[in-house]
Structure 1
Amino acid sequence: MTIVGSGAPVLSEDNVNTASRPSQLRITDLKVANLVGVPFPSTIIRLETNQGLVGYGEVRDGASASYALILKSRIIGENPCNLDKIFRKIKQFGAHGRQGGGVCGIEMALMDLAGKAYGVPAYALVGGQFRDRVRCYADTPSEADPDRMGKRLLDRKARGFTMLKMDVGINLIKDVPGALIAPPGALTDSATMHPFTGIQVTQRGVEALAAYVARVREIVGYDVALAADHFGHIALDSCIRIGRALEPYTLAWIEDLIPWQFTDQWRQLTEAVAVPTCTGEDIYLTENFKPLLDSGAIRVVHPDPATSGGIAETKRLGDYAEEQGIAMALHLAASPVATMASVHLAAATQNFLALEHHAADVEFWNDLVTGLPNPIIADDGNIAVPEAPGLGFTDINEELFAEHLDPRAPVLFADTAIWDNETAHDRLWS
């Protein structure tokens, strides 16, 4: 205790905030809310604690909530401030694509809780800031007509976005005579990997795609960055020919032309074209990005923090890519919860390039959380990095959440006690 003047003794804790005692903080519950239309189905995780603090994270768009719920029994009773310990405990249950969503969503929620417990923004937990504003790029649904596509992108540009992305794929030329050679049913088969579909893009098809991009670029101008995605399930030779045809239009990158697993094919593509190549949204953990990065197979690495490992693991990935001279952009199609997790990650990563925003047409998106500027993305296309603890927003908007719940799971943060006793012999070694 301390003595103040001649008055009564005052406990030293009377002068400090004891709302959280980090060393005694424990996770007591995990609940989820399954949302739709934000812009895609997303599961929001809420971790509750013995001190009243709650932390929020988000399972990747289109993933199952069970990817997070299965981990509940593994984290109850843990101190969320032990970020690395818990991540090492649960990362074995993640995998590539949407299967990484549970581990990553929980990691975001742990960062939110630890930041609140220590009274610091999440970026401070992974090394501090390189920037206080995070550039966003607007993805835009495809239009068959390049004039309509250009006008949609112009609208994004007028709203302040300094980087845009559109789809440029074989769906645009499927009705052009002589543009594609494909086995029966191949154009509607989304389950066969690109090298094995037998689809070829002819010279006429390549020219049609190049003309589409040329018209869009003419409309939006050359004072804004423009990337391209969703080329279709086509093999390497067609990808190279398309990439070369698009060189005159100075694209920011061409994305996911072939599956990320084919490192040598990515290297061949990158060496063949003078357009930056980009992939990574479905890769889980830094170790699985290393073949692409070590071989110089891509120019831009593009993880989705809701698959790649959350904030800290993706920060490690960014640092590794930087050593190889490779910039890191962030893939994302999410609510403001995962968006703000990505903002803190971007703030703490030196070689960060841009963060995807996929909800420019979702009118209620900004209102899903409270305590942030509205709109969250300013009129210069950037998000201000919040200084508030954790992920930086005050709370979720429960009323709005309730309006957008998946009708198959209509209760907001329903009881999840059924998962309390989920157990297995988890150890990976004897």
Structure 2
Amino acid sequence: MTTITNYELFEVPPRWLFLRLETSDGVVGWGEPVVEGRAHTVRGAVEELIETYLLGEDPTRIEDHWQAMYRGGFYRGGPVLMSAIAGIDQALWDIKGKQFGAPVYELLGGPVRDRVRIYQWVGGDRPADVGEAAAAKVDAGFTALKMNATAELRRVDTPEAVAEAVERLGEVRERVGPAVDIGVDFHGRVSKPMAKRLASALEPHEPFFIEEPVLPGHNDALPEIAARTSTPIATGERMYSRWDFKQIFENGAVDVIQPDLSHAGGITEVKKIAAMAEAYDVAMAPHCPLGPIALASCLQVDAVAPNALIQEQSLDIHYNEGNDVLDYLVDPSVFDYDEGFVELPDGPGLGVEIDADYVRERAEQAVDWHNPVWRHDDGSVAEW
């Protein structure tokens, strides 16, 4: 019987954690288990799961391993455990695909599409110069963009703050025209009263969706926000299992879910979340401001989910300082973008070949990325 015999973890720039999982017959699978800004913490969780459970096990029993890692520790859920499970799950699927000589999506029932639409980030955390950046990305062939709505906001902010957000989106809409989709990310940094005001105020510029209008702890407010706008509501990047998504499916307020393949239990779990969403007529656009392994994992689920709408990817995103998505790949052309789409990777497993020597070289660099702590003008902590 083939067993899992060894693993390595690599913290690499700009803010990623890669897992290399090896079997007794020499097959290698890669995963990306990370919480941005908490890589050291997730690393410890991955080591604990592998050392106490996975070493010596048959790598092919992916569902059983998922259940054991999730349910076997009594305490469950949350970003750290689910991200650790996610990266291990990705690596197990990569191994299984390589064992069968097929892309993971073929093992999940086969593709329902030939390519996946993607969107490109413009602006930054405090969005600026978005019009020019948006026009440049559209000229480069992208047909969908995403931008942050605002910088930090007070719990109840001024008409000027709302007007500035509207002006920024209006500038982008004017530059790119009505044929380009523009997602607007509230990033959980907006309070309920401001989310209601912004959702209504931005609507004339027809956003593709408004993302995470409130923090997941306030998902009970989503029906009220949705009632004030015809703009689709998207959320889910900080929700980590199908049980976390139950409420928003049942209250009917969300139109697009955004589970993260490196945070929400990996391929095994996100495929189930996507199927739940389909039953509620909800689309899926996986969250992925991460590296190439996470993106490859997203595309495997996008390939088989009928309700997959569009895919986030982090090429040139403002977080990627020092290294970018394509740097760690032997063949970067696997993610060539054409007219705003990427073809399904057709290689075995996750369909990407990681440059292990380059990963080891970059892992020797000090990586200590943490998101900034923002403060309001009165000194109190603001949502980032």
Q: What is the TM-score normalised by the length of structure 1?
A: 0.78
Say if 2:53 is the partner of 1:71: no
Say if 2:64 is the partner of 1:85: yes
Could you tell me which amino acid in structure 2 is paired with residue 81 of structure 1? T
Distance 1:403 1:158, change over 3 A: farther
Say if 2:304 is the partner of 1:348: yes
1:397 corresponding residue in structure 2? 355
1:116 corresponding residue in structure 2? 98
1:74-223 aligned at under 5 Å gives the runs 74-92=53-71, 95-142=77-124, 148-171=129-152, 182=154, 199-223=155-179
Per-residue CA shift, 1:327-352, capped at 9, x if unaligned? 01010122111111111110011100
1:309-324 aligned at under 5 Å gives the runs 309-324=265-280
Determine helix, strand or coil for the equivalent of 1:105: helix
Say if 2:285 is the partner of 1:329: yes
Could you tell me which amino acid in structure 2 is paired with residue 382 of structure 1? F
Q: Runs of 5+ in structure 1 lacking a partner?
A: 1-23, 172-179, 183-198, 411-430
Determine helix, strand or coil for the equivalent of 1:370: coil
Q: Runs of 5+ in structure 2 lacking a partner?
A: 369-384
Could you tell me which amino acid in structure 2 is paired with residue 34 of structure 1? E
Q: CA deviation at 1:117?
A: 1.2
1:250-289 aligned at under 5 Å gives the runs 250-289=206-245
Do 1:97 and 1:281's aligned partners in 2 also have CA atoms closer than 8 Å?
Answer: no
Do 1:138 and 1:358's aligned partners in 2 also have CA atoms closer than 8 Å?
Answer: yes
Could you tell me which amino acid in structure 1 is paired with residue 65 of structure 2? I
Task: Determine which structure has more spread, i.e. the larger CA radius of gyration.
Answer: 1
Do 2:11 and 2:367's aligned partners in 1 also have CA atoms closer than 8 Å?
Answer: yes
Do 1:45 and 1:57's aligned partners in 2 also have CA atoms closer than 8 Å?
Answer: yes
Distance 1:142 1:316, change over 3 A: same
Determine helix, strand or coil for the equivalent of 2:207: coil
1:358 corresponding residue in structure 2? 314
1:191 corresponding residue in structure 2? none
Could you tell me which amino acid in structure 1 is paired with residue 112 of structure 2? F
1:22-101 aligned at under 5 Å gives the runs 24-37=1-14, 41-62=15-36, 63-64=38-39, 65-73=43-51, 74-92=53-71, 95-101=77-83
Per-residue CA shift, 1:120-158, capped at 9, x if unaligned? 210122222111211111123428675x21111222222
CA RMSD of aligned residues (A): 2.2
What is the percentage of aligned positions where both structures have the same residue? 28
Do 2:315 and 2:324's aligned partners in 1 also have CA atoms closer than 8 Å?
Answer: no
1:196 corresponding residue in structure 2? none
Do 1:26 and 1:80's aligned partners in 2 also have CA atoms closer than 8 Å?
Answer: yes
Distance 1:325 1:157, change over 3 A: same
2:378 corresponding residue in structure 1? none
Per-residue CA shift, 1:92-111, capped at 9, x if unaligned? 46633354211000000000
2:329 corresponding residue in structure 1? 369
Do 2:94 and 2:104's aligned partners in 1 also have CA atoms closer than 8 Å?
Answer: yes
Distance 1:143 1:214, change over 3 A: farther
Per-residue CA shift, 1:377-420, capped at 9, x if unaligned? 32322221122211112x3213332343263489xxxxxxxxxx
Q: CA deviation at 1:234?
A: 3.3
Could you tell me which amino acid in structure 1 is paired with residue 262 of structure 2? A
Do 2:131 and 2:168's aligned partners in 1 also have CA atoms closer than 8 Å?
Answer: no
Distance 1:399 1:141, change over 3 A: farther
Do 2:98 and 2:349's aligned partners in 1 also have CA atoms closer than 8 Å?
Answer: yes
- For residues 378 and 235 of structure 1, the distance between their equivalents in structure 2, rounded to whole angstroms, comes to 36
Do 1:165 and 1:226's aligned partners in 2 also have CA atoms closer than 8 Å?
Answer: yes
Determine helix, strand or coil for the equivalent of 2:234: strand
Q: CA deviation at 1:364?
A: 5.1
Do 1:119 and 1:390's aligned partners in 2 also have CA atoms closer than 8 Å?
Answer: yes
Say if 2:356 is the partner of 1:378: no
